[in-house]
Chain A
Amino acid sequence: MAALGRAALLLSFGLVVYALVAGSVAAWKRRRRLAASAQNALIAAFGTTVVAAAVLWTALARHDFSFVYVAQHTSRTLPLGYRLAAFWSGQEGSLLLWLLILTGYSALAVWLHRFTRDLMAWVVPVLAGVSTFFVFMLVFVSSPFMSAPAPADGAGMVPSLQNPYMLAHPPMLYLGYVGLTIPFAFAMGALLSRRTDERWIVMTRRWTLAAWTFLGVGQLLGAHWAYVEIGWGGYYAWDPVENAALMPWLAATAFLHSVMIQEKRGMLKVWNMVLVALAFCLSIFGTFLTRSGVISSIHSFSQSPLGAWFLGFIAICVVFSVGLIYLRLPLLRSRTKLESLVSREATFLYNNLLLVALCLTILWGVMYPLVTQAVRGETRSVSKPYYDFFLHTFGLPLLLLMGIGPLVAWRRASLRALGRTFIVPAVAAVVTGVALIVLGYGSSTPGLLAYTFGAFVAASIVLEFVRGTRARRSLSGGSWPGALAELVARNRRRYGGYIVHASILMLAIGVAGSSAYQTVRERGLRPGQSMEIAGYTLTYERLQQRQEANAIATRAVVDVSRGGSHVTTLYPGKNSYPVEQQVSNEVSIYHDPRNLGDLFTIADQIDPKSQTLFLKVLVKPLVNVLWAAGFVFVFGSLVTLWPDAVEQRRLAARYAADTVAA
């Protein structure tokens, strides 16, 4: 069966190389039939990659340990769900997942935009070029179809990966990372075909939004996974691997905002090209980081030969995109200029600068050990204080701009109009700030600023919805909920965006609450002993043990009470995995509806002989607002992504002439 997988990948390689060469010739020589043939080859490559993926999944499901990959990442006791998820738990399999998504996206993009021939003629070779790199890696450098005599059992999966989040977090991230290839390919296609109007942006808006949403959801899932599984009470550690996903997301966020300026005002054409190339290159850079082992991380990655290949590919992408943008600069001149520093487009520009600055400071932090090694001959690294400083420096103004931007008029806004617009949000912000200080929450300046700015943003979003709903109701009558639903349905992009803003605000509230105002206590306990934290009393009762499918679970029974009343019973403990010969922390959490936070317990150390427990407890206010933000984020993104017939008719009319001409 491994031979079938190898043959399918080899076929994929042939097809994408053909799509690259034939597509380039067809676009260069304007040969329509050859271009169609290249498109078909790219679609067919998806089919052959599906076959390769099916072979690997079948081997994983059937415990076929003659596949080296299956033997290295699964065992006979590993449940089916995790065996299937092992597809992306190893280097070779995750590369195959990347290729599967890339060829799938490419086939869909080619089919959806098949009538935009002039642009697609160049998009196809770009997509094929990127695909060629990944199939090359799978065929010649890191194949998931290596075979060997089958061992009796496999090595199993790392315990920390044996979590339901393993089923969703990596694929979500990959859907996001790979999705950024599509806008990049269209941008490069637009430059190559000299069609540098807004059409490529309009065509890829949903692609970018979808990739950005997947990347955002993937990161939130990863954060929640770390929170509930790793057992340190945090959700983000500024680790290079985490930063690898955050950087392209920030660049894509900037891009999603700046394209609006190009669509509305015809400005920032060069900037948008740079951003889309930056987002794509950072997505590849993230993959390079996790596979090269060049950066020290709490995640350990094998020192594989893949790093050099990825570095070479990144260099090609950077040189290609920068060179192409430079060559096409005359075509990228803006039609209009910024008329005022107090305007909607100016606030979007400030937003862009802050996002890119934050992205680049994170990149600098990630690269710092390499830079210091190269310059000073010694490796130095920056840690949480560095990242926190820049998160506060750039993130807090970004939060405020999220409330200001939507309220400012396009082109030019008068100070008097601004005063009228901002009065309600400003009052809300001041009242919130004063109330927090009075209530004793002024100890953390970043926390105080985050909540004050947050109140401003919340008020501005509510104000926008109230104004819009009132106007809609006065036009068409009906109930308030009906008018609100109609308002959102008729302006999905705008109000979907506001919902996403609300989710980012919730994220900021959750992060500020759970980090700036958290309480931590730890203590060694014997059965019957108690400890106090933030009004809770935790009493350690006893240890209990049970056999699970592939682990022995030891749990401490901890009674939680408040003011003498029983609240809940928590079971922090550890799982011991005999096959993998590893132990994992199993935290136990009480979600407190009073402060929307968590009482988070970690059995730091358990001694079954003496029955002693070293218990670490964290009280994290508002942390559940952070997780709830994920649902609002997805809802807002779906509203924005949902097809809009009115918009599509408008765009169809706008580009009808171009399409006919092509």
Chain B
Amino acid sequence: MIALSVAAVLAIFIVYTAVAGAGTPQLQPSDLARYPRGDVMLVGKVVGPVTGDSHAAVGKHFVLRDVTGHTSTRVDVVYKGTVPDLFRVGREVVVEGTLRNGTFVAKPGTLSTKCPSKYAPAPAKNT
């Protein structure tokens, strides 16, 4: 009975993830061309230049490249909403949105900067 019940419950979420919530693709800038439409989560490293104001009509503009840095692909991003404190050139960020006319238009408030917290030491400056 336990096995059957667990199997039934597992079936619910497998069906859910397969049908209703098939997840959001996580892409790096070099993969973005494969998804010209639809929402994606863009993961990349900020290379700048960073201009504009995220709380103004123009929004904040910046450029992302692949985290691994193996390709030269760059993508322009425009974003409005809260900018995390740790956001800056060189940081790895995740942002959700859609590619429109070659620019990645981010959903407001979806920008998150990877937190260099535990287990990722900052490089020593005075060695």
B is bound to A:
yes
Interface residues of A (CB under 8 A from B): 71-73, 88-91, 94, 148, 151-156, 158, 160-161, 170, 231-232, 271, 290-291, 296-302, 304, 338, 349, 353-354, 356-357, 360-361, 364, 368-369, 372, 378-383, 385-386, 389-390, 393-394, 524, 574, 580, 582-585, 602, 604-605, 614, 616
Q: Find chain B residues with CB under 8 A from A73 CB.
A: 121
Bound-state CA distance A73–B123 (Å) is 9
Query: Does A616 lie within 8 Å of B82, measured CB to CB?
Result: yes
Take A158-B117, A161-B117, A353-B9 as given contacts and tell me if A151 and B23 are in contact as well, using a CB distance cutoff of 8 Å.
no
Please indicate which of the listed interface residues B27, B41, B86, B92 has the most CB atoms of chain A within 10 Å of its own CB.
Answer: B86
Interface residues of B (CB under 8 A from A): 1-2, 5-6, 9-10, 12-14, 16-17, 20-27, 31, 41, 43, 54-55, 82-83, 85-86, 92, 94, 112-127
CB of B37 to closest CB in A, whole Å? 15
Query: Does A302 lie within 8 Å of B119, measured CB to CB?
Result: yes
Q: Find chain B residues with CB under 8 A from A170 CB.
A: 118
Take A584-B85, A614-B55 as given contacts and tell me if A290 and B118 are in contact as well, using a CB distance cutoff of 8 Å.
yes
**Further contacts, 18 of them, CB under 8 A, given A356-B9, A385-B21:** A94-B119, A154-B124, A155-B123, A155-B125, A156-B122, A158-B122, A232-B82, A296-B26, A298-B113, A301-B120, A338-B1, A353-B6, A364-B13, A368-B17, A368-B23, A382-B21, A574-B85, A614-B55
Query: Does B122 lie within 8 Å of A605, measured CB to CB?
Result: no
Q: Find chain B residues with CB under 8 A from A271 CB.
A: 2
Closest to A354 in B: B9
Bound-state CA distance A331–B76 (Å) is 64
Query: Does A349 lie within 8 Å of B112, measured CB to CB?
Result: no
Take A353-B6, A381-B41 as given contacts and tell me if A389 and B94 are in contact as well, using a CB distance cutoff of 8 Å.
no
Question: 7 A-B residue contacts at CB 8 Å?
Answer: A300-B114, A356-B6, A378-B25, A380-B26, A381-B26, A386-B23, A605-B55
Query: Does B82 lie within 8 Å of A304, measured CB to CB?
Result: no
A-B CB proximity, top 9 nearest: A380-B23, A300-B114, A72-B121, A357-B9, A91-B119, A155-B122, A379-B26, A155-B124, A151-B127
Take A290-B119, A299-B118 as given contacts and tell me if A357 and B21 are in contact as well, using a CB distance cutoff of 8 Å.
no
Q: Find chain B residues with CB under 8 A from A369 CB.
A: 23, 26
Closest to B54 in A: A605
Bound-state CA distance A570–B93 (Å) is 31
CB of A408 to closest CB in B, whole Å? 18
Please indicate which of the listed interface residues A155, A156, A231 has the most CB atoms of chain B within 10 Å of its own CB.
Answer: A155
